[in-house]
Amino acid sequence: MIEISHLSKRFAQHTAVDNLSFRVQQGEVLGFLGPNGAGKSTTMKMLTGFLAPTSGTASILGFDIQTQTLQAQRQIGYLPEGAPCYGDMTVRGFLAFIAEVRGFRGAEKKERVSKAVALVELENVLEQSIETLSKGFKRRVGLAQAILHDPKVLILDEPTDGLDPNQKHQVRQLIQSLAKDKIVIISTHILEEVTAVCTRAVVIAGGRLVADSTPFELESRSRYHQAVTLVAEDALDVAALAELPGVAGIEENGIANSLTVLAKPGEVIFPQVNDLIRERGWKIKELDVERGRLDEVFRTLTRGEAA
């Protein structure tokens, strides 16, 4: 288990992290969310022992990060923001160096490097110097060094930053497979990352915790939860839709004959909307029920507008 208790970090007059507390259990993939400047990277640096907190504690699998730093760090695979590496080293040389730092020698070192390379598909760039790689490949090298020693805890700061859609999909699949017997924390501002791989989300703003829920629970806070979006061939009767039981309002979508019908909190309105469509004989091109919009919930939470 990872446990953060009343963690704070101040730089002169600026408080970057403010009395933060939460726990993460084995098997969880925690999305650590917040706008730029919210304190995400600062928290990661304290959690991994690279930055001392002003107050509070953090422990990794029972090891206090301040008093048992090396024991705690042995449990961690860390991908920092920007994936810093030694640019003049080749990918093979860098990963071999990291393996030696981690205490591996001989055949075991070679095996660890080969496995990490295969998992993130670096075979074609092994002999290139890191400084010549694209941003996406540099990110993959950073991920390879983080998983090389098969750590029990993975702490990843923006793991898919700079990757193309195919590479993002591959890394997300890798994270999900690794999470079966590990604790994974992903710091990100990419909301699709949360719904794609995370089992839980913690949102911070101004260094403070503002939400701790599953992605589904966060989506259910959205005013678009259970909303029904229609695209029709001809004009829709807005008044008739607005009068249906459970309907909170109607929004026009800026596209001809496209509306979103909003549901009152706790209401399911699709059956009523569907019945009206059949009754009126509307020719519908698209009909969707929304889970909720995480971006809207995120904006509300980080503006301090939510309870």
Domains of the chain: 2-219 (3.40.50.300), 223-290 (3.30.70.100)
Question: What whole-number distance in Å separates Cα of residue 158 and Cα of residue 189?
Answer: 8
- Please choose, from the candidates 227, 291, 289, 229, the residue with its C-alpha nearest in 3D space to the C-alpha of residue 263: 227
The predicted-structure confidence for 88-132, as pLDDT tens digits, reads as follows 999 999 999 999 999 999 999 999 999 999 988 899 999 999 999
For residue 202, what are its two tokens? 């913690």
The predicted-structure confidence for 183-226, as pLDDT tens digits, reads as follows 999 988 788 888 889 999 999 999 999 999 999 999 999 999 99
Instruction: Quote the pTM value.
Output: 0.86
pLDDT at 258 over 70: yes
Q: Reading across the β-sheet that carries 183-188, which strands appear in turn? A: 76-79, 153-157, 183-188, 29-33, 200-205, 208-213
pLDDT at 306 over 50: no
Question: What whole-number distance in Å separates Cα of residue 241 and Cα of residue 19?
Answer: 47
The predicted-structure confidence for 277-304, as pLDDT tens digits, reads as follows 999 999 999 999 999 999 999 999 998 5
